[in-house]
Structures are given as C-alpha cells and as structure tokens.
A = this chain, B = another copy of it.
C-alpha cells in the first residue's frame, strides 16, 4: 500500500487514538511506562497511517543524530581513481553501523557556496562520530576534527590523537622476507611504498622488511631498497628499472603493493627477466588482478571486510564511552601462488 506524501505526525496519531502526543511518542519509542494495549493500538494506527518519524525534530530535542560522518579524501596516493581498498572497507563499516541504527554521511568542506570547515560541518549535522578513511594526516581541518571532542576512528592513516585500524604491516613483511629466505633466496630486494607518512603502510612494510633480513642475519643494503614515488603501477615500473641499474642483482623482491607489482612485473618483462625463473616476487594486497597476473601473484591478502567491521566495533565502543586502543591490527593472509620459486 502506498502512502500519501503529506507528513503524518504524532499529533495525527494522537488525535485518532485519543491519546496524547507524549503517550504516542512513548509507544513509538518502546518505552516501559506505557500499557501494552495502548502501545499496540498506537503502533497499529501509526502503521496504518504510514507514519515516519522526523529525524530533524527528533534530533533537535534528543541531540543525537544517529549519523556517522565520513571523511574520505579521494586519493592522495596517486593510485588514480580506482583505489580498491577503501570502497570495501567503507561498505563493511556501513553495514555494521547501520545494523546498530546509524547512517553514514559524507562530511563536505563547504556548505552552499560558503566555506565551512570539516569540524563545523560535524557540528552542523551533529554527527555522533566520524570515520576517517585515507585522509591526509597533515590536513589541518582533519586534525581539527581529530583533536575535537567528536569521537573519531581512523582507518589506514595513523593520527596522533585517535584510534586507528589497519592491516598488519610489520609482521607479514617480516614473514615475506622469511618466506623468500626459506625458498633459498639470500639477496632480497624491497620496492617500498612512498615514505611520506600519509599511510603507515609505506614505512611499516619497509620496517618489516628490514626486521626480516635481520631475523635471518642477512645484511641490510641500501642498494636493495627502492622507494616508489606513488602507490601506482608507473612508480612500480620505474622503481624496478632503477633497482636493476644497480650492481647487486637480487633473486627476489618484496613489493609493497599489488598495484605497484603490476608495474614491477612489466618492468621485469621489459628487462628480459622471467618470473619466477629469474626473479621471485611477493607482494601485498591481493587485489582483483593478482590471481590473473602472469604468473599468478603470491601476495598477502588484506581483509577489507574485517577492517571495516573492526572500525565499526571500535566506533561503537567509543560511542558508548569505552576506551579503545590507539592502534588495532587486522591479520593478513599469505596467498601462495606462482610468482616465487625455490632456488
């Protein structure tokens, strides 16, 4: 049955049922101090009338918006417009939060032509909390939000004052080196992500790589490390070309991301290096392409679903006043395919 477009209020329900507005309100909100019969009758009439509450009126008096703000800056990472991680994380987060009654709203940076800071926007909409996804850690407006009293959770980017959830970076990076070591490799290079502190991933994976070498008593050599300019394929290609100009020719490479690995693998091809015969490659992410690469890429799978769910869990804790640890790590899983060989 389709309802008319004119708004029906609790007063309409009150009039029809003969009860007062507050009583209707109580019934609708499932309060305790109300008769069972009364409640049923009111609920029935509300249903018949197609009553829908008014979030503005409700929010105005309760001061709770049931809104979670999303600060999502498109792509400072140079990946282009298709970053594969964030959409999934947001989606998992969304589903979890919605189940608890929250809706997600993108926080804008201006309001009807007039500029308005992110924090002002949060206040304007009275968001109950904010999820920061891949924003610039140095953006003053974002920092203003993280330093305010608005409950914030961050995914991917580490901010000083708030809790962050990311995939594990260090442990799997150590493991990557050890995995290659166990295959007999002794000269292992790292093509690292940008070290500009936007994302923890860049330096933490490099750190893990170094720790991995140390754990196997392999020497740390600068000439085996190339830092890519951006998290994209072109930069991966360029980094591989740079690596191969140097004297030491590694037998294996730990690459900081699959997208970069696309470029690295192309560079190998252009260099006449076949994978894994001439060189082994292990990477990070497990994106759509990894299993279709030639050869299929051995890589650590980031669990986007788990990251989003974890972020939601942390948000709910924060919202209910609980303490949340500053950094939460979600495990990744090694997906062994054919890009590494025993030597």
A residues sitting closer than 8 Å to B (CB atoms) are: 2, 5, 7, 52-57, 59-60, 65-67, 74, 79-84, 86-88, 91, 94, 98-101, 103-113, 116, 120-121, 123-126, 144, 147-149, 233, 259, 262-263, 265-266, 269, 287-289, 291-292, 294, 304-305
Contact = CB atoms under 8 A, between A and B. Distances in A.
B123 A287 contact: no
For this chain, the copies found in one complex come to 2
A56 B60 contact: yes
Most chain B beta-carbon contacts within 10 A, residue among A86, A88, A233, A305: A88
Contacts of A304: 81
Nearest to A233: B292
Given A52-B120, A98-B106, A294-B294, 5 more contacts: A5-B149, A100-B112, A103-B107, A103-B108, A103-B125
Contacts of A144: 2
Contact of A83 (B7, B87, B259, B265): B87
A98 B73 CA distance: 13
A98 B108 contact: yes
A105 B259 CA distance: 30
Given A266-B292, A269-B294, A288-B259, A52 B123 contact: yes
Given A120-B52, A123-B52, A148-B5, A87 B98 contact: no
A82 B124 CA distance: 33
A130 to B, nearest CB: 13
Contacts of A91: 74, 81
A82 B84 contact: yes
B108 A105 contact: no
A124 B52 contact: yes
A57 B60 contact: yes
Contact of A56 (B59, B269, B292): B59
A65 B101 CA distance: 19
Contact of A55 (B108, B125, B294): B125
B101 A103 contact: no
A56 B52 contact: no
CB-CB nearest 10 A-B residue pairs: A101-B112, A56-B59, A98-B108, A81-B88, A82-B84, A56-B60, A262-B292, A105-B105, A52-B123, A56-B56
